């Protein structure tokens, strides 16, 4: 079969009957559909198919399964396991927007979060919005950085995703429009080989209210993907990218497998694949990994 349709649910949420429904929906459109195979019992399964476009297969399965809490991703059967991962940090590898949480220590979380939401949905220029938000934090004690980090939580499946891909020889890179203070800590904790982000400038023991140039934005994320793939001698088809905001969209669209993860509406609408119901383990199942192969990063 030329393609795989992967159905993924929160643990215990995927039934054999749903796989049967999805297969019937593909067959009704003229697809040659094979027998589903479990990747993780009642969590993820592959449905091989041919003679149907991936977009049609995903749409048909979604229509057949209605509002079920499932993620549905179609990929070519060949080359599913990617050799380079580029991941956004905020609201992707960690559950929060670290700049918004930092702003809470200045009493500005709601105001800054509103700007963040608009920037991540592509309504504002990223660079200008970043400078504006950081400027509002001028004079904030640097102790707020550590306090923010202590409250930061990993996204479910983050350790699984990076640990498993590392164990199978993939290069894993964190690329963020956030700040090096956080990306360095996240990279070390989760197991990324490298991290790229922005640098907050300091004035002694307080924030200077400025960001060092050049600012890492949408174009820089795409350039980083292409540069590292080139250094590794990999085609973009062998890469996986994941993120939630507008500054992630270019790299999501360029990768062999680009995932809009719990993404802002404009990003989800423009991405070929998305994950809304599940955590980051879904990215492993979309590559054909089984539950038995998942190896959480342990440092």
Q: 221 preceded by cis ω (within 30°)?
A: no
Residues 132 and 63 placed together within one structural domain of the fold: no
- Residue finishing a domain among 78, 104, 132: 78
Residues 182 and 52 placed together within one structural domain of the fold: no
Residues 241 and 101 placed together within one structural domain of the fold: yes
Residue 18 sits in a domain whose CATH number is: 3.30.70.260
Residues 45 and 85 placed together within one structural domain of the fold: no
Beta bridge partner(s), residue 72: 7
- Maximal CA-CA distance, the chain: 67
Compute the average pLDDT of residues 100-122.
91
> What is the number of residues in the chain?
299
Residues 60 and 200 placed together within one structural domain of the fold: no
- Residue finishing a domain among 51, 78, 105: 78
121 has a pLDDT exceeding 90 = no
Residue 278 sits in a domain whose CATH number is: 3.40.50.1000
Catalytic residues: 88, 90
Residues 299 and 159 placed together within one structural domain of the fold: yes
Residues 174 and 256 placed together within one structural domain of the fold: yes
Q: Indicate the pLDDT class of residue 120, thresholds 50, 70 and 90.
A: confident
Strand blocks (E) in the chain? 3-8, 32-33, 37-40, 44-50, 71-76, 84-87, 171-179, 194-198, 200-203, 206-211, 239-243, 257-261, 273-275
If you average pLDDT over every residue of the chain, what do you get? 96
Burial of 23 (0-12, 13-18, 19+ CB in 10 A): buried
Residues 6 and 137 placed together within one structural domain of the fold: no
Range of the domain at 172: 79-299
CB-based contact 63:266 (threshold 8 Å): no
pLDDT (tens digit, 9 = 90+) per residue, 209-250?
999 999 999 999 999 999 999 999 999 999 999 999 999 999
Residues 124 and 244 placed together within one structural domain of the fold: yes
DSSP state letter for 14: -
DSSP state letter for 143: H
Structure pTM?
0.95
Count up the domains in the chain and report the number.
2
Residues 52 and 199 placed together within one structural domain of the fold: no
């Amino acid at each position: 079969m030329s393609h795989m349709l992967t159905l993924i649910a929160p643990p215990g949420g995927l039934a054999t009957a749903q796989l049967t429904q999805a297969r019937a929906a593909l067959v009704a459109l003229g697809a040659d559909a094979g027998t589903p195979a479990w990747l993780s019992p009642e969590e993820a399964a592959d449905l091989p198919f041919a003679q149907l476009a991936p977009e049609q297969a995903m749409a048909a399965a979604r229509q057949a399964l209605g509002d079920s809490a499932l993620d549905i991703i179609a990929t070519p059967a060949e080359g599913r396991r990617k050799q380079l991962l580029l991941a956004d940090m905020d609201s992707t590898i960690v559950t929060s927007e670290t700049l918004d949480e930092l702003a809470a220590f200045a009493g500005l979380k709601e105001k800054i979060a509103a700007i963040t939401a608009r920037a991540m949905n592509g309504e504002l220029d990223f660079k200008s919005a970043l400078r504006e938000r950081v400027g509002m934090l001028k004079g904030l004690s640097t102790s707020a950085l550590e306090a923010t980090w202590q409250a930061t939580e990993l996204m479910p499946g983050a350790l699984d995703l990076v640990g498993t891909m590392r164990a199978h020889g993939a290069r894993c890179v964190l690329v963020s429009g956030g700040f090096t203070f956080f990306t360095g800590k996240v990279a070390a904790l989760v197991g990324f080989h490298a991290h790229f982000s922005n640098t907050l400038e300091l004035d002694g023991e307080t924030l200077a209210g400025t960001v060092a140039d050049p600012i890492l934005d949408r174009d820089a994320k795409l350039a980083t993907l292409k540069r590292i793939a080139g250094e590794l001698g990999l085609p973009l088809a062998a890469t996986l990218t994941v993120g939630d905001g507008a500054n992630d969209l270019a790299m999501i669209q360029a990768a062999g497998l680009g995932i809009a993860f719990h993404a802002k509406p404009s990003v989800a609408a423009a991405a070929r694949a998305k994950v809304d119901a599940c955590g980051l383990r879904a990215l492993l199942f979309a590559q054909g990994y089984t539950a038995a192969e998942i190896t959480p990063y342990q440092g």
